[in-house]
Amino acid sequence: MNISARNIDFQELNEQVRGASGDICINECYGQRFIGTALSGRTLT
């Protein structure tokens, strides 16, 4: 799954990451903090 981090804060980004199934690719990430906290069993790029 591809997620665009543009114009969203780290909390919204983490909600999208947690709600995604499978591997995750984050695009347009410029300084968001705490991405993928406690994420396991998936690849985050």
* Nearest one of 4, 2, 1 to 30, comparing CA atoms: 4
pLDDT per residue as tens digits for the range 4-33? 999 988 889 888 988 988 888 999 988 766
pLDDT of residue 2: 93
Q: Which long-range contacts (CB under 8 A, 24 or more apart) does 15-23 make?
A: 17/44
Domain ranges, ordered by start, for the chain: 1-45
d(C-alpha 43, C-alpha 8), whole Å = 21
Phi, psi of 10 (to 5 degrees): -65, -30
pTM tops 0.85, yes or no: no
